[in-house]
Amino acid sequence: MPPAPPSTAAAAAAAQQLESLLPRLTTLSHYKQFHARLLTSGHLCSHPPLRARFLDRLALSPHDTALPYALLLLRSLPAPATNDLNAALRGLAASPQPARSLLLLAGRLLPAPAPPRPRLDALSLSFALKATARCSDALATLQLHAILVRLGVAADVRLMTTLLDSYAKCGDLPSARKVFDEMPVRDVATWNALLAGLAQGTEPNLALVLFHRLAGSFREFLPREEPNEVTIVAALSACAQLGALQDGLGVHEFARKIGAEDNVRVCNALIDMYSKCGSLGRALEVFHSIKLEDRTLVSYNATIQALSTHGHGADALKLFDEMPAWIEPDEVTYLAVLGGCNHAGLVDDGRRVFDSMRVPPNMKHYGTIVDLLGRAGRLDEAHDMIVHMPFPADIVLWQTMLGAAKMHGNVELAELAATKLAELGSNVDGDYVLLSNVYASKARWADVGRVRDTMRSNDVRKVPGFSYTEIDGVMHKFINGDKEHLRWREIYRTLDDIVSRISELGYEPETSNVLHDIGEEEKQYALCYHSEKLAIAFGLISTPPGETIRVIKNLRICGDCHVVAKLISKVYGRVIIIRDRARFHRFEDGQCSCRDYW
């Protein structure tokens, strides 16, 4: 039996003293010593709040064995309190296996018959909702929603905001929206959760509408609903995704207005927004405006990424090397640097960075290095990478390998990649087109026909290509060959004009990127009205001469459009900036910033 505390006053003092030690526990040994003192002093049973705070810290501490230790302790308690359970729920929700906190919530990790399970409160559900958000489990979120209503805690603003956030992170935006609409009381965090959910989900445009409502009349909102720096970051994220520079500039202005422009996280979001809107210069300006000691890992990552996607690989490497010693590069840093080397054709630098990585490479790192080696023609080295990876290659990696094999006309590797892709269940048109083109380049027409037959029988998924461009703050969207735009006749006439003028410089349509199952003329038609060409043509007729044309495309730019954009930049004296799926291309005077290597 542990000795009972001598008197209540003395016990309270002792508890106070222990309490003050809590924030200073770091090593696992500290936690064990603290546990021992809780036991010998009797506080483990006599002072539940102290015990729960100890469990909370233990369950969140970064040591591998800390969380199992906390769970063991929880299970050994004769009468666990709600807060003991909550500490463990919180730790599990933040762990690499968040779903385990749902098991605990359901009582599955507690001893079976006795002791009595503690009752749940709003906090228990809050942690569980964090877990369902992290594993994108919309159904579990719904179940927790039901439990929360039954518990009678549905009026809790914080909990409902967490619920809203969880629905949004699980991709269920309608439910998130419904929670928002039904909340009688909201505050700025509620708005921010919805805004961020829309911005990072499928509705960045709606996010901006919401932001403008908040920002436009923000003095009329209740003080607790006034937009803050988190609102700004979420709105910037929407602008970045859309490539909406005018909106982004407006949000930046609003940040100045509410005095949030010096906030590091706002600056980080600004760097990303300016970069993705095609303004590397403004992105770098923001980065340099952050005081050296205020810069975070994300500041560096976002800026290195900006330099990389804009094709400035050497500068990305330089910034990487200049990172202060107290900031450790993480997997995102390496991905950005490797991407920079890839886009700039710095093969040996990329290989060197990859080999010197201080974190274990993941699938995306392998994807980048395979792309880098593959483009450079070092196909066997790229294939070796895949073979010696510590995990099996995924679809994107084999698509990368297939692209490299096509580029260098390697039939064996192309067939291998295509086989793997079929095994992994990929069924997109691009894969077939690449394989077919490898065969076509070797005049293996029977194989070309076989690929085409497979396509027919497999009901191939075609990813529609689209592009858009912002004119006076309004987005104009184009799909391949569409005539939806009000001014489509002018646009097509302009394209005819373009083709005839650049033909004088020797332009011929490069049709090898179109599948060989249609006639030559049709191929030319399919190419001629690619969405990025429509967007550029519209840019030409709706902006004054000499103004930069900015286009955003959802897929990678095709070889023919790349040639055409270069020629337009020369003939029409325009700078054209195209953001494609992977990077930026800046066309000026007949040249592209990617130096035709992408």
Partner DNA sequence: CTAGGGTTAG
Binding-site ranges for DNA (CB under 7 A): 49, 52-53, 56, 83, 86, 122-123, 126, 130, 156-159, 161-162, 165, 186-190, 192-193, 196, 199-200, 228-234, 236-237, 240, 263-266, 268-269, 272, 296-298, 301-302, 305, 330-333, 335-336, 339, 342, 363-364, 366-368, 370-371, 394, 396-397, 400, 582
Q: From the CB of 466, what's the least distance to DNA, in Å?
A: 19
Nearer to DNA, 258 or 471 (CB): 258
CA 495 to CA 489: how far, in whole Å? 10
* Min separation Cβ 342 and DNA, Å: 7
Least distance to DNA from the beta carbon of 340, Å?
11
> Which CB atom, from 189 or from 251, has the smaller least distance to DNA?
189
H or E element that contains 184: none
The first and second tokens of residue 479, run together, are 């799909």
Smaller CB separation from DNA, 186 or 550: 186
Contact 138, 170 (CB under 8 A): yes
Query: Cβ 436 to DNA, closest distance in Å?
Result: 22
Helix (H) or strand (E) holding 7: none
**Least separation, in Å, of the C-beta of 522 and DNA?**
32
- Quick one: tokens of 566? 């270069």
Nearest-angstrom CA–CA distance, 61 and 55: 10
Q: Which of 428, 480, 467, 463 is nearest to 554 (CA)?
A: 467
Q: Quote the crossing angle between the two packed helices 395-407 and 411-423, to the nearest 10°.
A: 160
Nearer to DNA, 110 or 196 (CB): 196
Helix axes 157-169, 122-134, angle to 10 degrees: 10
Q: Which of 267/564 has CB closer to DNA?
A: 267
List of residues 6+ apart from 221 with CB closer than 8 A? 214, 227
> Residue 200 or 543: which CB sits closer to DNA?
200
For the record, the structure tokens of 192 come out as: 């921010």
Shortest spacing between CB 135 and DNA, in angstroms: 14
Strands of 591-592's sheet, edge to edge?
474-479, 466-471, 549-553, 576-579, 584-588, 591-592
Q: Take residue 396 and report the two structure tokens written for it.
A: 């994107």
Output the smallest distance, CB 8 to DNA, in A. 19
Residue with smaller CB distance to DNA, 285 or 520: 285
Residue among 130 and 574 whose Cβ is closer to DNA: 130
Output the smallest distance, CB 218 to DNA, in A.
12
Amino acid type, 226: E
> Which residue, 337, 330, 385, is CA-closest to 363?
385
- We find the least distance from the C-beta atom of residue 187 to DNA, in angstroms, to be 4
Cβ proximity to DNA, 101 vs 190, nearer residue: 190
Q: How many CB atoms are located within 10 Å of the residue 414 CB?
A: 26
Closest CA relative to residue 386, chosen from 377, 435, 373? 373
